[in-house]
Amino acid sequence: MEQSDSKQMKPLRRFNFWKWTIISVIFRIILIYFSQNLNFSTRPEVSTPVTSLRRLSEGYWLKQLSMSPYAGSMYHGSPLLLAVLGPLTVNKIAGLPSHILCSLVSVVADVFSAMLIRALGQHLQLRLKSFQLSGLFKQSELLPSGDIAALVYLWNPLTLVTCVGFNTTPVENFFIILSIYGASARLAPLAAFGWTIASHLSLYPSVLIVPVILLLGYGPDSPPRKLSLQRETVKGMHKGSNDGYPEQNYVINQLPPPTLSWRPVLSFILWTSIWTSYILILCAVSMKDHRGLPEMFRKSYGFILTVKDLSPNIGVLWYFFAEVFDFFRNFFLIVFHVNILFMIFPLAIRLNHRPIFLAFVYVAISSMLKSYPSVGDSALYLSLLALFANELAEMDYSFFLFCGYVGVSLLSPVMHNLWIWRGTGNANFYFATAMAYACFQIILIVESVSAMLNHDRKIQKLCTQQTIELKDRKIQ
């Protein structure tokens, strides 16, 4: 009876997932139809100077006039986006306006991103089942984390407003997820392609090279490697005993201790070199009449690193550099950017056995400290967090964080309106919501990492207890 019930539940779950996926696409199309009335594209929380398609449209017009796309002060993205998305911003195809065409590209990117997140969750689910320990995990209690994470990405209000907000963030998120999925599936060319494009578009995803290499070398997330060694010892002890107890009561589906596989890592490095060279050649050809690659680096990556545009956003850097003395500006630029680099290796050492979770942590930290953040960055790391619904079920302050994110999402446009349009507030009103948003992100990162480490300690404690029990039974 239990087997028949489980067989009936599987098609139902699949049907529910696809039903909600189709509804999310329809809902996006409805929002796109009313997008001009919603006017999300002008919101500083949604579109940034780096991701705005309105700025890309101006860069495309400049290039059409045989001028450098960086001649004005508007466009600061990749010249390759001008060739791919530029025509959609000014031309009609099949009678559809440009804003609808660009928003449909975002819809397609969101759907593909959700499918890749779902596949990531399935890889993690298989890994979790293979390391399943009796008394800690039960087959009936495991949540379909892939389906949950995919639906979180599709139905997150932050993802929805980003999709309708006329920007390139959905495309950037797609390539970030593609690189993580390619590494999880041990497809080095695909992982290298996704990582190269994502780093080329927005620079900050370059820190994901650490979890991508760990994924290729060790595979998806699993309990600590020293626990695998301990569980192998338990298995050997039990085989040598003659107490008659069945082995699966203590250890299920034993796996050997994971070892670093250098072949996919070296393949990734090779393919990364190939894709990077190819992209730089295309950019050089596109910019050959406009000062070449140095101009692209200075106007795109240099713009990101020097924080020249101090227009308000949900980050904390714009207000800080608007107030700091110019004499200290370069010093604090180094401090803010090096903060991200300082966290890479300590986190990689502590969470090297969980590379996908490590990728979530890196994305969250980058979203908090980057020069021009948007709510689309938060939509990405929140969906990656949902992949660990089983491991983080006992995370503290979940309801507090949920209320905090909702409160900031509602207060931010209100404070911006009071400051810019009504004149009854000032910049401190809006910056207060940005500070609160940063604090909630810090709490989320700290609590999620703490919950994951507590989960690993719980597994170690259970395995140690099983070892002691087997020793006692062997003595008896």
Tokens of 415: 């404070």
Q: Are 335 and 323 in contact (CB under 8 A)?
A: no
Tokens of 321: 């550099």
Cα(183)–Cα(202) distance, integer angstroms: 20
Cα(444)–Cα(466) distance, integer angstroms: 33
Tokens of 197: 């494009």
CB atoms within 10 A of CB 202: 28
Out of 88-102, 110-124, 222-236, 451-465, give the one with best mean pLDDT.
110-124
Cα(2)–Cα(146) distance, integer angstroms: 23
Between 405 and 143, whose confidence is greater?
A: 405
Query: Using one digit for the tens of pLDDT, what is the confidence trace for 262-287?
Result: 889 999 999 999 999 999 999 999 88
Please report which confidence band the pLDDT of residue 11 belongs to, taking 50, 70 and 90 as the band edges.
Answer: very low
C-alpha closest to that of 201 among 85, 339, 73: 85
Handedness of CA 53, 59, 63, 64 (dihedral sign): positive
Task: Mean pLDDT check: name the lowest of 46-50, 257-261, 448-452.
Answer: 257-261
Out of 28-42, 107-121, 229-243, give the one with best mean pLDDT.
107-121
pLDDT, mean of residues 150-162: 94
Tokens of 256: 């050997």
Residues in Cβ contact with 32 at an 8 Å cutoff, skipping those fewer than 6 apart: 100, 103, 104, 107, 163, 164
No. of helices (H) and no. of strands (E), the chain? 22, 0
Three-state DSSP state, 291: coil
Query: Using one digit for the tens of pLDDT, what is the confidence trace for 375-428?
Result: 999 999 999 999 998 888 888 889 999 999 999 999 999 999 899 888 887 888
Residue ranges per structural domain of the chain: 2-32+48-230+241-475
**Distances from the Cα of 5 to the Cα of 17, 260, 330, angstroms:** 18, 40, 64
pLDDT, mean of residues 144-163: 92
- For residue 14, the Cα-to-chain-centroid distance in whole angstroms is 24
Q: Residue 443 pLDDT > 80, yes or no?
A: yes
Please report which confidence band the pLDDT of residue 242 belongs to, taking 50, 70 and 90 as the band edges.
Answer: very low
Please report which confidence band the pLDDT of residue 72 belongs to, taking 50, 70 and 90 as the band edges.
Answer: confident
Three-state DSSP state, 387: coil
Residues β-bridged to residue 96:
93
Mean pLDDT of the chain: 84
Length of the chain in residues, anyone? 476
Cα(48)–Cα(45) distance, integer angstroms: 7
Q: Are 230 and 464 in contact (CB under 8 A)?
A: yes
Residues in Cβ contact with 198 at an 8 Å cutoff, skipping those fewer than 6 apart: 172, 175, 176, 178, 179, 205, 208
pTM of the model: 0.89
Q: What is the pLDDT of residue 138?
A: 54
Cα(72)–Cα(460) distance, integer angstroms: 58
Please report which confidence band the pLDDT of residue 244 belongs to, taking 50, 70 and 90 as the band edges.
Answer: very low
> What whole-number percentage of the chain has pLDDT above 70?
84
Q: What is the pLDDT of residue 206?
A: 94
Q: Are 353 and 222 in contact (CB under 8 A)?
A: yes
Cα(126)–Cα(128) distance, integer angstroms: 5
Alpha helices in 93-168 (DSSP H): 98-130, 145-155, 157-164
Residue type, 422: R
Cα(447)–Cα(428) distance, integer angstroms: 28
Tokens of 247: 């082995």
